[in-house]
Amino acid sequence: MKNYFDSPRGVLSWLITTDHKKIAWLYLVSITFFFIIGAFAALLMRIELFTAHGNIVSPDVYNRLFSIHGIVMIFFFLVPSIPSVLGNFLLPLMIGAKDLVYPRLNLMSWYVFMIGGLFTLWATIDGGVDTGWTFYTPYSTMFSNSHVVLAALGVFVTGFSSIMTGVNFIATIHQLRHKDMNWFKMPLFVWAMYATSIIMVLATPVLATAVLLIGLERIFGLGIFDPALGGDPLLFQHIFWFYSHPAVYIMILPAMGVVSEVLSCFSRRRVFGYKFIAYSSLAIALFGFLVWGHHMFVSGQSTFANTVFSFLSFLVAVPSAVKVFSWTATLYRAKIYLRTPMIYILGFISLFLVGGLTGLFLASLAIDLHVHDTYFVVAHFHYIMVGGAVMGFLGGIHFWWPKISGKTYNEKWGRFSAVIIILGFNLTFFPQFILGYLGMPRRYHSYPEVYEYLNQVSTVGLFLLGIGYFFPIVYLTMSLFDKKTVGANYWNAAGLEWLTESPPPHENFHELPATVPDVYDYERLPDLGGVS
Amino acid sequence: MKNHMGMWIFLASEMMIFGVLIFLYQVAMNQNLNEFRMASHDLHFIHGTVNTVILLTSSYFVALSDVKKNRLFLILAMILGVVFISIKGFEYYDLTQEGKFPLNFKDLSSAETLFFTYYGFLTFLHLLHVSVGILLLGAAWFLYYNPKEKNLPHNAGLYWHFVDLVWVFIYPLFYLIGRNYGK
Ligand code: HEM
Ligand SMILES: [Cu+2]
């Protein structure tokens, strides 16, 4: 039987494919590439921060490094990671469709993504930008003499790829579900994709407008943000965070979707509180739009606004907490299989907990005034974004790898690198909470000597983390050349996607089952398969 | 209904673009209320009003073509779209001559600059949408009898109504705000 790799074959078949499974691969390869670029920038930064006196790179180069690190990691790695790779591959399989509703739009979104990426790469190679990934005005519009326009253009263009993906996913979920699949039979991963897509469609245009205005203001001297021409620089922060806070959920919600699937499979339990988890995704998507002001507590907005935003930020924590409670309840007294995907997912839950709780610290006005723009913030968002979203992504890739590739990886290497990543991660970022609390500001390339020890711990941690990331890239790639293939349902899992062969045929299913299985019916399934 | 959903979602996304710009403009207007009202007098009230009528009429034609199943109405709508663009062109030209169009500002106060910046940016973005709309209507006209293309005419229509709707916001916010505040 032919699988999607073979029908049709050849390089061209990849570049003009409209098969969602191949497009997922295009994204996987591209975001891995971008991740490596972002990681190199991080490496240089941490090497620079190894000693208190900046002496490897100049302050200016350091600024360019953290800007490109932030821009690439957010817009070119994390935002597209789970939706465009796992979402693209799995969404149609999970709902029993042949493809997305708009297959050509899907391919186009990858090209648009790559064009945006090329602009950003160009900007990087040609000297970089020094505004930070936030492009704050008036610095970005009037003072910076780096490639603001090119980088902004890159972000602007990529935004459209995100919007296209969102449009495609929402319409697909509405229109191509298996006849027997009503909303409450959908896997929670699909719910998560749905909520994420809503954010992509509604928030991304706002970001696109913001960076477009930056570009125009810089080139043509328009005065929307420039006080000298009557404009207001704070407005930029408002519209920027109106996107960028919800964008945090673009990064974390999909990972939460992965968690529910993996957790249920590796504890052989029905996820507890299915409807709560489903609704909480939507709640997060909607509340996420109301809290942007917590990034602006010290920007000079009114005390009243600060108080409201602080309060709302506590509210948006509620649906996240609901999810964590449901997962904990699922695990309670379950028989847990500590396979690679599960280790990542347990890592997700604990790191997300730390990140989330410290987020509440930051949402409290009084504490934020103390730790604002210190390493405390850096640690917080890395716990959420790297500890949360990247762990979710890796967990998902490992879980569905047998389905995607028809091959399996070496479980020992898998577990080993998952553990290294979790250790390395904590070693890198935990010291940064302390550093921040002690008062070390972010975005500086040198610092007082008292902070040196903790910074060195952090840098050592990064090397460990780097090694941890390196392994999966190697053993997953190698597994592709294995002769041995796996059966349809490697983990004896319950979702619809496991009913077709691995890797699936071009049209996903040779024959659709008349009714869809109950996605979390693990009590009645045979035990976990795979290697032990 | 099948394939109109994508268009609706896309339009929601478009709405956020214009929404945020109109929001920014309103904030700026609040901070410079009197100056903006005064500056509003410098726009061509007649041009704006005629354009509003034109766009509304064209939207009506698009709807008619859907109801009466007649593609000739699409042509009428497209012609009106072109007229809209031409009138805007005259308006831009005049404003440029007066030094009131972005990239060519001459001795304006900062509030006036801001007003005309927003005017230039928002109307230009809208104009781009009008042009895309005309192309879509053209494609719809072309493929009208193609049985495989059931969706395009309707989607082009939706898009055109959206472009019209946006103008209905732009018109009062720029052309009318100064009406009752004499110059
Ligand atoms: C892999 C290990 C990583 C390390 C060691 C690392 C390290 C750093 C460092 C040293 C900074 C500069 C902090 C400052 O001075 O403000 C930074 C900033 C940042 N990082 Fe990472 N990072 C890593 C991964 C990631 C990932 C995966 C993401 C997102 C997906 C990310 C997103 C960001 C962002 C958004 C900033 C803020 C940039 C800015 O200040 O403009 N990082 N990171
Ligand atoms: Cu936020």
pLDDT in tens, chain B (183 residues): 457 899 999 999 999 999 999 999 999 999 899 999 999 999 989 999 999 999 999 999 999 998 888 899 999 999 999 999 999 999 999 999 999 888 888 888 888 999 999 999 999 999 999 999 999 999 999 988 887 877 888 899 999 999 999 999 999 999 999 888 876
Chain B positions touching chain A (beta carbons under 8 Å): 2-3, 5-6, 9-10, 12-14, 16-17, 20-21, 24, 27-28, 31-32, 102-103, 109-111, 113-114, 117-118, 121
Nearest CA to ligand 1 atom 20: A70
Shortest distance, CA B13 to any CA of chain A (angstroms)? 5
CA-closest candidate to residue A79, choices A390, A478, A360, A333? A390
Mutate to test the interface with A, among B14, B33, B34, B117 (most CBs of A within 10 A): B117
Shortest distance, CA B117 to any CA of chain A (angstroms)? 6
Give the model confidence (pLDDT) of A48-103 as tens digits: 999 999 889 999 999 999 999 999 999 999 999 999 999 999 999 999 999 999 99
Whether A256 and chain B come into contact, CB under 8 Å, resolves to no
pLDDT at B104: 82
Nearest CA to ligand 1 atom 28: A73
Shortest-distance atom of ligand 1 to CA A45: 10
3-state secondary structure at position A374: strand
3-state secondary structure at position A473: helix
What secondary structure letter does DSSP report for B12? H
Q: Which residues of chain A have a pLDDT value below 70?
A: 1, 531-532
Nearest residue, CB atoms, B5 vs list A171, A205, A213: A171
CA-closest candidate to residue A176, choices A521, A524, A512? A512
pLDDT at B1: 43
Shortest distance, CA A172 to any CA of chain B (angstroms)? 9
Note the pTM of the prediction, 2 decimals: 0.94
Q: What are the CA-CA distances from residue A187 to residues A260, A284, A508, A516 (Å)?
A: 9, 18, 17, 11
Nearest CA to ligand 1 atom 33: A70
Nearest residue, CB atoms, B6 vs list A102, A202, A204: A102
Helices (H) and strands (E) in chain B, counts: 6, 0
Q: What is the spatial distance between Cα A190 and Cα A196, in angstroms, rounded to a whole number?
A: 10
Q: What is the spatial distance between Cα A324 and Cα A355, in angstroms, rounded to a whole number?
A: 13
Tokens matching residue A299: 């920007």
Shortest distance, CA A114 to any CA of chain B (angstroms)? 21
Q: How many CB atoms lie within 10 A of CB B19?
A: 17
Which residues from chain A sit within 8 angstroms of residue B28, using beta carbons? 224, 230-232
Backbone angles phi and psi of B144, in degrees to 5: -55, -40
Whether A62 and chain B come into contact, CB under 8 Å, resolves to no
Q: Which residues line ligand 1 (CB under 6 A)?
A: A 39, 42, 45-46, 66-67, 69-70, 73-74, 77-78, 132-133, 378, 382, 385-386, 390, 428, 442-443, 462, 465
pLDDT at A422: 97
Q: What is the spatial distance between Cα B3 and Cα B15, in angstroms, rounded to a whole number?
A: 19
b (16+ CB within 10 A) / e for B163-173: bbebbeebbeb
Nearest residue, CB atoms, A231 vs list B2, B10, B114: B114
Which residues from chain A sit within 8 angstroms of residue B17, using beta carbons? 205-206, 208-209
Tokens matching residue B72: 């000739």
Angle, helices B72-97/B110-142, rounded to nearest 10 degrees: 160
Nearest residue, CB atoms, A202 vs list B2, B13, B118: B13
pLDDT at B183: 63
Beta strand extents in A424-472 (DSSP E only): none
Gap from CA of A258 to ligand 1 centroid (Å): 23
Are residues B110 and A223 in contact, defined by beta-carbon separation less than 8 angstroms?
yes
Give the model confidence (pLDDT) of A229-258 as tens digits: 888 888 999 999 999 999 999 999 999 999
How many A×B Cβ pairs under 8 Å? Answer: 83
